[in-house]
Amino acid sequence: MIVHIKKIIALANKGGFAVGAFNTSNLEVTLGIIRGAVKRKSPIIIQISESTIKYAGLKNIIELINQLASTDGKSIPIAVHLDHGKDFELVKDCVRAGISSVHMDASDFPYEINIAKTKKAVAFAHKFGAYCQAELGAMIGKEGMTKIVVPKNADDYMTNPAQVKDFVRRTGVDTLAVSVGTLHGHFEGKEKIDLPRVRKIQQQIPNTPLVLHGASGSVASEVRASIKSGIRIINIDTDLRIAFTKTLRSTIKTLPANFYDPRKVLGPSIDAVSSMVEEKINIFGSGK
């Protein structure tokens, strides 16, 4: 069932776990996400991006999530979130559409401009009772990528712990996405979570839930350690894309050329997404 994200965050804080924030783009991925979470009896956040909105339409994708949450997902708490909203007008559209959390991502801008843009989005979201997430520090990479060159100096792009208290105080943001070594995409061996940095950030803003973006290529033990250090929401997109697409390719290879039932073609990919969500929930500690 659909709930406000604050209820899910409260559960994570009380239980000392992280909630998975899983990106969707269509019916099949959404079904996989919800079915996996239901199997593990876990609260989840379902995220939509600007590209998903362009692909499926804002009203369409929200109605799809809401409907599936009231049927397949009626036994678990589900919140809906806008991921990486760069356009303030789209952020406003999402808030007006009724989702309980939006991400105003102005991290590409200098610090003071980031504050100004975030503060504006926070004020608008709060007027409608929605939460607003911001981002401090740069997330390297892009969802779906598997090859990347990582900057040598971490301080050039990771979140500066000395800035977070000022940033949160001046913006009034509800959750904060931090850059601590994860990357957008899936890069095994290149992603190492800077746990001391996570702890320093959490010590500065102990009452602000921290969000870990780009966790698809991270080692499970490091993810678990980051949760103990204060991470409460973990974003997963690329791993779901890989699970869905790899399975789809394999399925098609097994079918005769004259086979035309898309339900049976896509069914195994839904199951693959579901299994991936279960795997992540086991790492995050949010299941029962």
Residue-level pLDDT at 279 = 97
Q: Catalytic residue numbers?
A: 83
First to last CA, the chain: 17
253 exposed, middle or buried (CB, 10 Å; 0-12, 13-18, 19+)?
Answer: exposed
Q: Token pair 């997404």 is at which residue? A: 273
Q: What is the pLDDT of residue 151?
A: 56
The ranges assigned to domains in the chain are 5-284
Interaxial angle between packed helices 58-70 and 88-96, expressed in degrees from 0 to 180 and rounded to the nearest 10: 40
pLDDT of residue 196: 95
Whole-number Å distance between alpha carbons of 30 and 77: 15
Q: Distance (Å, rounded) from C-alpha 18 to C-alpha 209?
A: 10
Weakly modelled stretches of the chain, pLDDT under 70: 140-156, 184-190
How many C-beta neighbours within 10 Å does residue 228 have? 14
> What was the pLDDT predicted at 81?
98
CATH architecture of structural domain 5-284 = Alpha-Beta Barrel (3.20)
Q: What is the pTM of this model?
A: 0.92
Bridge partners of 178?
136, 212
**96-145 pLDDT, tens digit each:** 999 999 999 999 999 999 999 999 999 999 999 999 999 998 776 554 44
